[in-house]
Amino acid sequence: MSNSYKIAIIGGTGKVGRHIALRALENGYQVRMLVRNPEKLTFKDVRIEIVEGNVQNLEDIQRLLKDCHIVINTFGQPIKEKPLYSSVTEKILGLMADLQIERYIGVTGGSLTIDGDKKSFINRVGAKMFEMIYSNMMIDKKKEWNILNQNEQIKWTLIRLPFIVDSAEIGYVNENLTDMPGTKITNQDIATFIINQIENPKYVQKAPFISN
């Protein structure tokens, strides 16, 4: 894959997204981000192409994805709104198929449990608590997983995260396909891990857990 490839980032203004954009630029990729309100950007880089729009608007997503080769989705759920993860992901995948974009990398919480998981007792309890407290969100996240898992056309990866710490990169990441290997991870380590997955087929059509 040539580093002249362009990455479309959804959620680029969030805790993790801004570091993904910077890591992508450091690796020579072109970057385009969907931003709801560009005036509220906390960081600016002339190398980043900004598309003003809303992730719920199909035309805005289409403008974002045009001429891109990779899609990275770290969309954050707006507070007090109904869960949108599954509908946003479904729109993105549909447009990716139309535009013949193959690579998709998304993130979700470690509380998501799927077939084949072998979570420890503590992690099973934690997942059940999330399902009870955030029932609507977890139902929607499971729906998002099912949409991805049934898609054989896109080379997708869904990364399951523990608690995110806003901190400098530690430089190592623990990975596991069946259980969360730790309780937290820095946002900068997440960004580096995600960029490293672009050309790595190891977790294509899989949902790894990562932590520090």
Instruction: Give Cβ neighbours of residue 48 (< 8 Å, ≥ 6 apart).
Output: 12, 21, 25, 31, 32, 33
Residue 137's domain comprises 6-211
Q: Is residue 1 part of a domain?
A: no
Entry pTM = 0.93
Check residue 26 and give left, alpha or beta (phi > 0: left; psi -120 to 50: alpha): alpha
Does residue 110 sit within a domain?
yes
Say what the pLDDT of residue 75 is. Answer: 84
Q: What is the CATH number of the domain that holds 67?
A: 3.40.50.720
In a domain, 200, yes or no: yes
In a domain, 159, yes or no: yes
Q: pLDDT, tens digit, for every residue of 117-160?
A: 999 999 999 999 988 988 898 999 999 999 999 999 999 999 99
The pairs formed by 119-128 with CB atoms below 8 angstroms and a separation of 24 or more are 119/178, 119/179, 119/180, 120/179, 123/179, 123/180
Dump pLDDT digits (tens) for 159-200. Answer: 999 999 999 999 999 999 999 999 999 999 999 999 999 999
Beta bridge partners of 108: 160
* Domains: count for the chain: 1
